[in-house]
A and B are shown apart, each in its own frame.
Chain A
Amino acid sequence: MRMLSPKEQLDEKVLQIFDVLEELYNAQEILEQVMKNGFFNMSRARYSMGVKRVTADQILEAEMQANKTVLISDKNSQNTEENSQSVQNHANEDPYAFPVFTLQRASDSTESASVTEMIPKPKHDVNERETSLRKRNLKDFHKLTLKDDPSDESQILDDDEEVVVEEKNNETCSTKTDKEQIENRDDSAKSEKQRTKKLFNPLNFFGILVPRELRTSQHQFEEAVGLAVQISNLKQRLQSLQFQYRRLRGVEAQDI
């Protein structure tokens, strides 16, 4: 392969810079449009929810953890070999390395979509449990304590005779299996809570039943985050190309 002269290399670098600039302008335009739609939907949500329901007050002091972070890796430019031949004086340095950002999501998009569905679920379970207990007996929890500690039995029986009647009727069914079931439910509710805590949806700062516009706005800003990372990468590439261009100009000046 023919080695390019410094002038040809310079031309190539200029063309690469213009390509990156074009990509950058396009990406900025898309980001602007996406953010504009996001702001518009947020305003619509504010209109339907009330002005004071979608403000910074909801997020300023709130406990939160980032669902989206960026992984940073070093990447050498594609023409490293070629450049190292022309810029031999600086062979030991690695000036063409530039960081590459990769968006890292705490959960997959499918999981994040199901977060909102997951949150009411434990509440529903709790309600179900409460109603079933209420139907059977208001003091259903006593049964467990009676089983655990028989010494207290007489005391409770004296307090409430109804409990005794109910208990006798249900004695056969309120066995250890019942207790295990309740424990299992508790465990599953705990694990569910832990999972929901991990996959916290920031939408819940503004309430559980939020309007569709706010959800749409959220999706648009999620897209904006991805675009922002893409633009950051393009800017890093641009800066790296600028550096290479300056070096080549220096080499060319030395040759002359």
Chain B
Amino acid sequence: MAIAAARGKLIAVIGDEDTCIGFVLGGVGEMNKNRNPNFMVVDKNTSIGEIEETFRGYLKRDDIGIILINQNVAEMIRHVIDSHDLPIPAVLEIPSKDSPYDPSKDSILRRAKGMFSAEDFR
């Protein structure tokens, strides 16, 4: 078992204000030397382009191991999440304060569902 990094990778968060505050309280928040935080607060004024750009930025960063994203925010950039098929960073959809988690919308679970077509069981 080879350990990839001695220090460990960060957990990034993209979500509404309360989700970000909560996870920063939980101890995942980090501001790096270039003053780029590993979390993004999405509010009603945040454009889809900004979210997409931040998400792609997190995918490129090699110090991030897991990206937590609110499911309602993930819905806005579904095409980007669906196109990401690498194991690291792992993208995890989480519920938000306003909307509960719906497994039928989750990219990975939808892929699992799509595995079994009716023809497979004939």
Contacts and interface: CB of A to CB of B under 8 A. Distances in A.
The range of chain A's interface size is 35 or more
Interface string B74-96: 00000000000001101010110
Interface of A: 14, 17, 21, 24-25, 28, 31-32, 35-36, 38-39, 42, 54-56, 58-60, 62-75, 98-99, 101, 104-106, 112, 202-203, 205, 214, 217-218, 220-222, 224-225, 228-229, 231-232, 235-236, 238-239, 242, 245-246, 249
B29 A232 contact: no
B27 A67 contact: yes
A31 B9 contact: no
Contacts of A55: 17, 21
A228 B87 contact: no
Interface of B: 1-5, 7-11, 17-31, 37-39, 41, 65-66, 68, 87-88, 90, 92, 94-95, 97, 100-101, 103, 108-109, 111-112, 115-116, 120
A39 B18 contact: yes
A154 to B, nearest CB: 51
A246 B94 CA distance: 28
Contact of B24 (A24, A25, A59, A246): A59
A56 B30 contact: no
Given A202-B25, A228-B68, A56 B20 contact: yes
Contacts of B92: 228, 231-232, 235
Q: SS class of chain A's interface: helix, strand, loop or mixed?
A: helix
Given A54-B21, A73-B3, A98-B87, A225 B26 contact: yes
